[in-house]
Amino acid sequence: MKQYIIKRLLISILVLFGVSILLYSIAQMVPGDYVTNITSGNPNITAEMVEQMREAYGLDTGPVEGYFNWLSKAIRGDFGTSFVYQRPVTEIILDYMPPTLALAGIAMVLELLIAIPLGILAARKQYSVTDYTIVAIAIMGISLPTFFFAAVLKRIFAVGLGILPISGMVDARMDYEGFALFLDLARHFVLPIAVFVITGVGSYLRYVRTNMLEVLNADYVRTARAKGLPERKVIGKHAFRNTLIPIVTLVGGMIPGLFSGAVITEGLFAIEGLGNIALNAVYAGDIPYLMGFNMFIAALTLLGTLVSDILYAVVDPRVRY
């Protein structure tokens, strides 16, 4: 087990290394006068910073040397300075992480809480009206463009009915504190999370359903019934324990999707999180921030995969590393 984790960890580091090369070479494609262009209109950028940036992207040295310079700093957690915020990228990521994590975390939990029971229900009632309805809703959710759905919801709930705020994180006119602040935050998060969950839950739901169907057709489920176990126990114990195995792998694979979703949702609802900053960074040409952001996600994804691999061994006794 220990050996396996170490091996996986080493592979993850290798992959992360590959990610950094990929990202760096994309960033490398900027033209030579890029730094001059981007800094020319910005009075906040000092000559010293310009120098730093030229160095960071190997514009002065060569791409290879530049990469290693960048890498040696990156390993120490230094991804350079953001143009827009004039602060180290790492600091910005840490500062703006909470809303993103809250959004993605709540969405993830809700998605699982919806996908697992509904997926199991649909599988148990295969070919019934319930099943068709659930699957149809799932496909609808998958096919809904997030931005369009967000607009429709905003139009209905914020503009039309006026019961929910249209965007932002807190009501700027009010000065809430304590529990009232929390309630205000919650009100602002209702629509983003609804959009996030409804457009995201479909694929997981179908995944759970497919796997549950497979398990329900397995011989050991029939054995459990032949023992005289009540249906509740057959499903809840024997079948569920087996679907847990693919679900665990699913959780590890959710992370990239969650961040893609977070970027869009934050942008749509003007939530001050990592994704929104990333969007603004695109327009401002803030490449250091984008690099840091992507590396951060890649690392998180690899961590997620690692954790789900370990969990896999916990849930499935057949797997022994």
Q: Is 293 in the site for another protein (CB under 8 A)?
A: yes
Q: What is the DSSP string of 167-230?
A: SSSS-TT----HHHHHHHHHHHHHHHHHHHHHHHHHHHHHHHHHHHHHHHTSHHHHHHHHTT--
* CA separation for the pair 203, 275 (Å, rounded): 22
* CA separation for the pair 242, 211 (Å, rounded): 9
Whichever of 135 and 169 has its CB closer to another protein, that residue is 135
Q: Is 22 in the site for another protein (CB under 8 A)?
A: yes
- Give Dmax (Cα) for the chain: 79
Whichever of 106 and 315 has its CB closer to another protein, that residue is 315
| Among the residue ranges 44-52, 109-117, 149-157, 182-190, the one whose residues contact another protein (CB under 8 A) | 149-157
Whichever of 106 and 229 has its CB closer to another protein, that residue is 229
Q: Is 311 in the site for another protein (CB under 8 A)?
A: no
Whichever of 179 and 283 has its CB closer to another protein, that residue is 283
Q: Which residues contact 291 (CB under 8 A, 6 or more apart)?
A: 23, 24, 27, 79, 80, 89
Of 90-119, binders to another protein (CB under 8 A) are: none
* Number of residues near another protein (by CB under 8 A): 82
Of 37-96, binders to another protein (CB under 8 A) are: 37-38
Of 249-278, binders to another protein (CB under 8 A) are: 256-257, 259-260, 263-264, 267, 275, 278
**What is the smallest separation between the CB atom of 148 and another protein, expressed in angstroms?**
3
Q: Is 154 in the site for another protein (CB under 8 A)?
A: yes
Whichever of 120 and 298 has its CB closer to another protein, that residue is 298
Q: Is 229 in the site for another protein (CB under 8 A)?
A: yes
Closest CA to 115 of 214, 211, 11, 232: 211
